């Protein structure tokens, strides 16, 4: 039944033409952007299910005795997303991007679990941020159907951390724009085929939080930039728009205080060259990924 539904959906997407806008971002570009992310996730899960066993994940803190079976299902979903998007692009006469070579950085099953939760959160933010630019209504529906699955993956993987994280930490998810997502993806990409279609995206200097321990609203955290920048402001990306955070520091080392209006869950910080709200023209570093916890999250994690 599931295979038949997938096949029917593939036929439908092949019949929908890619609408081409006059700007650099059009439906074909957005589908290839999504495919770039799906290739990354597909490679990540394919490696993980081969490298680690059911016992490895249980020892790493997974709360579900069926976790390995469900992880295989997540891997299958990502492979299906790759096949689906590739077929849609070919049917529309657009060259689909091919997989790159990746380095995900994890050293054990616990590291894989943590990276998986982050990747799924970024995937949700990527589809959510791209939705407003999709011109074809059918493609918007297809992207939405992938987004909801990625959100379920995210909730499940957050639950299977050690300690467990809330599967629904906030009533809203956070959208990210193309360059912000590509910056995060670029950290895992080592090289790509020269034949891949060029995407009108760029990567900002990477930004990472170096403070240890849980992060709460009001926490002061240290940030490290991959190279020296002249940052004048820091912003937390939220559903309703960027929220400025108190910033100090210079060069490649900064300190940010998490504002009370920051959402709980996976959040993103960017540094800008001025105090105006962040844009692709004034972001100088980031996003950095942080997890904003509720005050009782640690004590209540066994219930998630």
pLDDT of residue 296: 62
What's the pTM?
0.89
Q: How confident is the model at residue 213 (pLDDT cuts 50, 70, 90)?
A: confident
pLDDT at residue 125, as a whole number: 97
Residue-wise pLDDT tens digits, 15-70: 333 333 335 789 999 999 999 999 999 999 999 999 999 999 999 989 899 999 99
Instruction: Answer whether residue 215 shows pLDDT above 90.
Output: yes
CA-closest candidate to residue 156, choices 146, 144, 168: 168
Give me the residue spans of the domains in the chain: 2-191, 207-303
Candidate ranges 4-8, 243-247, 300-304; pick with highest mean pLDDT: 243-247
According to DSSP, the residues that pair with 255 across neighbouring strands are: 222, 248
Residues 6+ apart with CB under 8 A from 37: 122, 123, 126, 181, 185
What mean pLDDT is reported for the chain?
A: 89
* Residue 188: pLDDT band with limits 50, 70, 90: very high
Residues 189, 33: Cα–Cα separation, whole Å: 14
DSSP 8-class letter at 231: -
The beta-strand segments (E) located in 1-118 are 101-102
* Helices (H), ranges, 92-226: 109-130, 137-159, 178-186
Is residue 256's pLDDT more than 90?
A: yes
Residue 270, phi then psi, degrees to nearest 5: -125, 150
Evaluate whether 2-191 and 207-303 have a shared fold: no
Torsion of CA 224, 230, 232, 234, to 10 degrees: -30
Q: Is the pLDDT reported for residue 300 higher than 80? A: no
* Lookup: tokens for 22: 């006059």
297: pLDDT strictly greater than 60: no
The strand pairing partners of 237, in sequence order, are 268
Other CB atoms within a 10 A radius of the CB of residue 276 amount to 14
Topology of domain 2-191, per CATH? Ferritin (1.20.1260)
From 8-17, 88-97, 260-269, the region with the lowest mean pLDDT: 8-17
CATH code reported for the domain at 207-303: 2.60.40
Contacts by 64-69, CB closer than 8 A, 24 or more apart? 64/159, 64/160, 67/160
């Amino acid at each position: 039944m599931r295979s038949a539904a997938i096949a029917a959906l593939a036929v439908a997407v092949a019949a929908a033409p890619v609408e081409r806008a006059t700007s650099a971002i059009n439906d074909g570009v957005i589908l290839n952007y999504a495919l770039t992310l799906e290739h990354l996730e597909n490679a990540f899960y394919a490696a993980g299910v081969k490298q680690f066993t059911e016992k490895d994940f249980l020892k790493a803190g997974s709360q579900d005795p069926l976790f390995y079976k469900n992880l295989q299902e997540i891997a299958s979903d990502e492979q299906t997303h790759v096949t689906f998007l590739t077929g849609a692009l070919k049917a529309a006469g657009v060259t689909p991007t091919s997989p790159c070579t990746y380095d995900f950085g994890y050293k054990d099953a616990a590291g894989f679990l943590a990276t998986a939760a982050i990747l799924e959160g970024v995937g949700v933010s990527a589809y959510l941020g791209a939705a407003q630019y999709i011109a074809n209504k059918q493609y918007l529906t297809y992207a939405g159907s992938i987004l909801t699955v990625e959100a379920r993956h995210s909730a499940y993987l957050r639950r299977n951390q050690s300690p467990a994280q809330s599967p629904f930490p906030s009533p809203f998810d956070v959208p990210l724009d193309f360059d912000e997502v590509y910056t995060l993806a670029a950290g895992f990409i080592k090289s790509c085929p020269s034949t891949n279609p060029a995407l009108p995206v760029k990567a900002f200097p990477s930004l990472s939080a170096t403070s240890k321990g849980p992060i709460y609203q009001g926490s002061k955290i240290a940030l490290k930039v991959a190279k020296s920048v002249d940052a004048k402001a820091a912003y937390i990306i939220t559903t309703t728009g960027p929220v400025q955070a108190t910033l100090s520091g210079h060069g490649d080392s900064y300190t940010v205080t998490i504002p009370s209006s920051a959402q709980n869950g996976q959040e993103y910080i960017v540094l800008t060259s001025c105090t105006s709200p962040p844009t692709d023209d004034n972001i100088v570093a980031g996003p950095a990924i942080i997890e904003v916890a509720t005050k009782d999250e640690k004590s209540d994690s066994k219930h998630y």
